[in-house]
């Protein structure tokens, strides 16, 4: 079955990231935030603003090339976060959990939060906002641009 697509606008991402901040505020205060790059950078900035958190670290794990999964490679470690005690780890999405497992191994005491979660990765996340089906590919605003799309009726072959 071909994947389903769910398009997230900048406004929707901002609303969902702010909703995540509301869920996280009672669990703080946080020493800092670790953004999982690249997808977690923008949600981390929004959550950091809402939680008034100024210390931002990053971890870079490369697992995707466009829509194709590969073996994960740690390109940058989150050195400042130590074992994660008091730190909030943020990503845009937990999918299969590959990235989450690696980050949890690096930062076992951190709180892991994502804006979106799929069933396979959901058990690895402490806090999230929206669950989507495993076969849904989320199109984030940094991956898309507005363009004309033909009406459905025009795309159905008869």
Q: Is 16 a catalytic residue?
A: no
Task: Determine which one of 52, 92, 126, 143 is catalytic.
Answer: 92
pLDDT at 66 over 60: no
Q: Is 83 a catalytic residue?
A: no
Q: pLDDT tens digits, residue range 39-65?
A: 999 999 999 999 999 999 999 998 766
Q: What gap in Å lies between CA 21 and CA 3, rounded to an integer?
A: 30
- Band of pLDDT at residue 130, cut at 50, 70 and 90: very high
Q: What gap in Å lies between CA 123 and CA 132, rounded to an integer?
A: 14
Helices (H), the chain: 10-24, 41-51, 98-106, 152-155
Task: Determine which one of 16, 52, 65, 91 is catalytic.
Answer: 91
Model pLDDT, residue 133: 95
Q: What gap in Å lies between CA 35 and CA 43, rounded to an integer?
A: 8
Task: Determine which one of 11, 65, 95, 126 is catalytic.
Answer: 95
pLDDT at 1 over 60: no
Q: Is 91 a catalytic residue?
A: yes
How many CB atoms neighbour CB 44 within 10 A?
A: 26
Bridge partners of 74?
Answer: 61
Give this prediction's pTM.
0.86
Q: Which residue segments constitute the domains of the chain, with CATH numbers given?
A: 4-143 (3.40.50.2020)
Q: pLDDT tens digits, residue range 70-127?
A: 788 899 999 999 999 999 999 999 999 999 999 999 999 999 999 999 999 999 999 9
Look at residues 1, 4, 36, 42 and name the one whose alpha carbon lies nearest to residue 118. Answer: 4
């Amino acid at each position: 079955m071909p994947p389903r697509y769910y398009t997230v606008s900048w406004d929707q991402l901002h609303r969902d990231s702010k909703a995540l901040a509301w869920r996280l505020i009672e669990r703080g205060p946080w020493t800092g935030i670790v953004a999982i790059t690249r997808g977690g950078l923008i949600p981390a900035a929004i959550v950091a603003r809402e939680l008034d958190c100024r210390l931002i670290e990053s971890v870079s794990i490369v697992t995707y090339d466009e829509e194709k999964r590969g073996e994960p490679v740690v390109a940058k470690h989150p050195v400042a976060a130590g074992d994660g005690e008091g730190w909030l780890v943020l990503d845009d999405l937990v999918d299969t959990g590959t990235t989450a497992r690696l980050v949890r191994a690096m930062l076992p005491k951190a709180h892991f939060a994502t804006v979106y979660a799929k069933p396979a990765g959901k058990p690895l996340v402490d806090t999230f906002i929206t669950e989507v089906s495993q076969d849904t590919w989320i199109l984030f605003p940094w991956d898309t641009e507005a363009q004309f799309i033909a009406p459905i009726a025009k795309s159905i072959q008869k």
